[in-house]
Amino acid sequence: MKVGIVFGGTSEEHPVSVKSAREVARHLDAGKYEAFWIGITRDGAWRLCDGPGEGWETGGRRVALSPDRSAPGLLVLEGGRYATIGLDLVFPVLHGKFGEDGALQGLLELSGIPYVGCDVQASALCMDKSLTYTVVGDAGIATPKFWTVAPDEKVDPGRFDYPVFVKPARSGSSFGVTKVTREEEFDGAVEAARRYDPKVVVEEGVVAAEVGCAVLGNDGDLVVGEPDRITLSHGIFRIHQEDDPESGSENSTVTVPADIPAQSRLLVQETAKAVYRALGCRGLARVDLFLKEDGAVVLNEVNTLPGLTSYSRYPRMMAAAGLSPADVVDRLVALALDGKLR
């Protein structure tokens, strides 16, 4: 099977994507799949390369993905002419803007090539926190109280009860996120968020433990990993912004399986599946939740292409449930082919 694996990208999560691709490369069965590695540089150039190893950004051949369904696959520039390579499947290993926001998914829909992960609609919904909360809230699932700040809109900081969290509405990981405890900090936090997205979301602070759940599957047939729990010594969770995340975080510890009561574990898993279905997710997603002292569960956010690095939460939760990274890759490929006629 010819599989195009797209990694890198122009978002702030470019380095994480490269690390995720390296982990996928370690667990991709060469007996089943012929891999075509498509690296997107930070400035948006597409390269057909030997893999996500060192130096890929300066080597390789120029390549594009054909949106023409009569000639689906890759167009590779060779000697001033384009050669074509047919693909059976595309596996996006991209995070953040232009990776999991529906942009790439739209190009893949035009191409007619099956691909791993959520479709255009679900990707766009999950990328925009305000839309995620609106859809999930309408489905009867608890979300934080939130306010949307439009581009160039001025907001009175006195209207909020502190603390609040100020976030880019459409950005990955915790880039641009600030915990605001006083009115005087609010405007600066909005400016920080707008470096990543002109649309900003302000959320009430939820006093709770941070937990997550990995979900795998299409429609009603879902598999969930063992939930995890994040313990913070200070600040907020910023795992992908550490200098050396492979060696651990300076302010957080992730426990898998989560050290929570059995009843809470089941509620987290069932809520994660309900969120996944409400948003129309397919393939995979990591659903992050708050677990309150009274046992209630509140949505935090949804990542439709979660990190797959050696230290990422999604593969660790699935491994704790008995699915190795190689198992996850195989299942994602099968799910993408199953959803070919969506």
The CA-CA-CA angle for residues 286, 32, 332, to 5°, reads: 15
pLDDT value of position 174: 81
**DSSP string for 298-316:** EEEEEESS---STT-HHHH
pLDDT value of position 137: 98
pLDDT value of position 340: 57
Asked if pLDDT for residue 173 goes beyond 90, the answer is no
pLDDT value of position 171: 87
pLDDT value of position 339: 62
Alpha carbon distance 228, 224 (integer Å): 12
pLDDT value of position 342: 40
Backbone angles phi, psi at 235, to 5 degrees: 65, -155
Question: Using an 8 Å Cβ cutoff, are 108 and 115 in contact?
Answer: yes
Helices (H) then strands (E): counts for the chain:
8, 17
Helix boundaries (H) for 115-261:
120-127, 129-138, 186-194
pLDDT-based confidence at 220, cuts 50/70/90?
Answer: confident
Asked if pLDDT for residue 247 goes beyond 80, the answer is no
H-helix or E-strand spanning residue 328: helix 325-338
Average pLDDT, the chain: 92
Question: Using an 8 Å Cβ cutoff, are 168 and 189 in contact?
Answer: no
The mean pLDDT value for 139-155 works out to 96
pLDDT value of position 248: 55
- Whether the domain at 124-143+206-338 and the domain at 154-204 fall into the same CATH topology: no
Tokens of 90: 């595309």
Backbone angles phi, psi at 65, to 5 degrees: -95, 125
By annotation, the residues acting in catalysis are 16, 19, 95, 240, 246, 286, 307, 311
Asked if pLDDT for residue 302 goes beyond 90, the answer is yes
For the domain made up of 154-204, give the CATH fold.
Dna Ligase; domain 1 (3.30.1490)
| Tens-digit pLDDT profile for residues 105-140 | 999 999 999 999 999 999 999 999 999 999 999 999
pLDDT value of position 240: 52
H-helix or E-strand spanning residue 23: helix 14-27
The mean pLDDT value for 64-69 works out to 92
Alpha carbon distance 4, 92 (integer Å): 8
Tokens of 278: 């409400």
Alpha carbon distance 149, 275 (integer Å): 24
H-helix or E-strand spanning residue 276: helix 262-278
Asked if pLDDT for residue 272 goes beyond 90, the answer is yes
- In the chain, the percentage of residues whose pLDDT exceeds 70 is 93
| Tens-digit pLDDT profile for residues 201-214 | 999 999 999 999 99
Map out the domains of the chain as residue ranges: 2-115, 124-143+206-338, 154-204
pLDDT value of position 78: 83
| Tens-digit pLDDT profile for residues 85-110 | 999 999 999 999 999 999 999 999 99
Helix boundaries (H) for 68-141:
103-111, 120-127, 129-138
Alpha carbon distance 182, 159 (integer Å): 12
Question: Using an 8 Å Cβ cutoff, are 272 and 264 in contact?
Answer: no
Alpha carbon distance 203, 166 (integer Å): 7
Alpha carbon distance 29, 181 (integer Å): 49
- The rounded Cα 239 to chain-centroid distance in angstroms is 14
For the domain made up of 2-115, give the CATH fold.
Rossmann fold (3.40.50)
Backbone angles phi, psi at 174, to 5 degrees: -110, 25
Looking at the structure, give the CATH architecture of the domain made up of residues 124-143+206-338.
2-Layer Sandwich (3.30)
Question: Using an 8 Å Cβ cutoff, are 236 and 210 in contact?
Answer: no
Asked if pLDDT for residue 249 goes beyond 90, the answer is no
Strands 252-255 and 297-303: unpaired
Asked if pLDDT for residue 7 goes beyond 80, the answer is yes
pLDDT value of position 251: 60
